[in-house]
Amino acid sequence: MAKQALLVLNAHAGKNSLRSHLLNIIDLFVKEGWNVNVHPTQCQRDAVHAAAAMTKECDLLLVSGGDGTLSEVVTGLMCCQKRPVIGYLPSGTTNDFARTLGLPKKAERAAKLILTEEPIPVDVGSFAEDYFIYIASFGAFTEVSYQTPRRLKKVFGHLAYILEGVKSLGSIHSYYLKIDCDGKRLEGDYIFGMVTNSTSVGGFHFRKQALFDVKLDDGKFEVALIQMPKNAWETQQIIHDLLHQNLNSPYFQILKASKLTIASDQEIPWTLDGEYGGSLKEVTIQNHRHAIRIYGDGPGWFRRKLDNRAEEKREK
């Protein structure tokens, strides 16, 4: 009996790069004994319902789209007792979590990785009644990912986020927060905060930063907070430190946590995996260790990265 796979496909993600390769990818799986059913997403959050309703008899759940599509699928799976292994075929604009997993940029090569490698356990975050796979954030720049027009993303790719981010510089304001984090209490004015389980955020890579030391399955989030600058010089210094990934900046607070509660006297707009996550005065964020299994990062990540680069050069 053929093994059952479901492909949840967001055909509008990124620059529609997967369409010309879709039949070849399905053929790769069929040749390996998989029966592949395809579900094209019809609207926002459709992947949540598809993952929750259509994976009961599924052994492998393939996801083609951006990190937002993957996030929706994971949200749907978190409502299920049986959670099939996920194979991610990234075709979005930024693909932060795909970079974290060390996945090849080309979809057919990502498909071959799924067929040859072993899945790894990955933590998932809960946020109030929702979930996220790699980041929950608030404050400066966080609205950029979901306010950037889709047409700009398609034409300019990651540059579109930068252009939209520059426009938001004049509207930065702070939130006075009380943060309970694994038994610790923090208080202060902050312009930005992120709770993440990724080595790439908005195209910025943190793999070489020892302070982050990201492990996808350790039951811990990496938490970064940026304090409110007191003057224009401090604002410039913060921007400089961000662009140069200086996590030792005196304006940044970096810590690890498995659970934290963030409270404010005003509603804070949040972003979950690049999409609007609602505005809340208080929220509890918790790490669910080993909640899913997905093909990607493992002991062979660096070797595969070198192999990917070598093969991509040969294909050009």
Instruction: Choose, from 118, 234, 275, 282, the residue flagged as catalytic.
Output: 275
Angstrom distance (rounded) from CA 92 to CA 157? 9
> Does the annotation mark 275 as catalytic?
yes
Indicate which residues carry an active-site annotation: 275
